[in-house]
């Protein structure tokens, strides 16, 4: 499924540029993806569209999402979320939030879409694709450093 999502991200730079799901299904099939992968990806994308329709629209076109939780609020993950996401993914979500590039409304969509994937726990690479797809759906182009963090393979990095 994630290969299909990457293909969609790379070929339709914005969520609103993506064709309707039934037309996308034909294009993906013509490209050679397996029917099961296409089905899983389309169900996932439909869930992303539904989640996007259920959040409030941003106050401006940047990152001022309303309503914002107070500074004293904290996101508490359920046991099921902790088990499915795992420590690396939860840490990465926290990193993105702390960096100011993942507003609470988008975080909730990321968590929702991560919970809709198979596999326990979700891998960090899969979570990065999910974050990219959420940005994509809202036509948010992450800045170069965030994009580098989302697209770079961190296994080859050495800590200084």
Q: What is the pLDDT of residues 83-108, one digit of tens each?
A: 999 999 999 999 999 888 998 889 99
CA 81 → CA 66, 103, 109, distances in Å? 24, 19, 13
C-alpha closest to that of 133 among 11, 37, 36: 11
pTM of whole model > 0.85?
no
What's the pLDDT at 123? Answer: 94
What residue segments make up the domains of the chain, in order of their start? 2-156
Task: Check: CB of residue 121 under 8 Å from CB of residue 83.
Answer: yes
Asked if the model's pLDDT at residue 9 lies above 50, the reply is yes
Percent of the chain clearing pLDDT 90 (strictly above): 52
């Amino acid at each position: 499924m994630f290969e299909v999502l990457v293909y969609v991200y790379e070929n339709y730079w914005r969520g609103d540029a993506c064709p309707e799901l039934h037309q996308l299904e034909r294009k993906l099939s013509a490209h050679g993806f397996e029917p099961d992968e296409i089905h899983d990806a389309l169900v996932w994308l439909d869930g992303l569209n539904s989640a996007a329709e259920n959040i409030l629209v941003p106050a401006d076109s940047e990152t001022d999402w309303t309503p914002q939780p107070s500074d004293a609020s904290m996101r508490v993950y359920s046991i099921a979320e902790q088990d499915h996401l795992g420590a690396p993914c939860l840490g990465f979500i926290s990193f993105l939030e702390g960096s100011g590039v993942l507003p609470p409304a988008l975080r909730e969509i990321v968590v929702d879409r991560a919970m809709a994937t198979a596999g326990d726990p979700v891998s960090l690479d899969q979570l990065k694709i999910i974050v990219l797809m959420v940005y994509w759906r809202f036509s948010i182009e992450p800045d170069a450093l965030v994009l580098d963090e989302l697209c770079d393979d961190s296994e080859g990095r050495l800590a200084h």
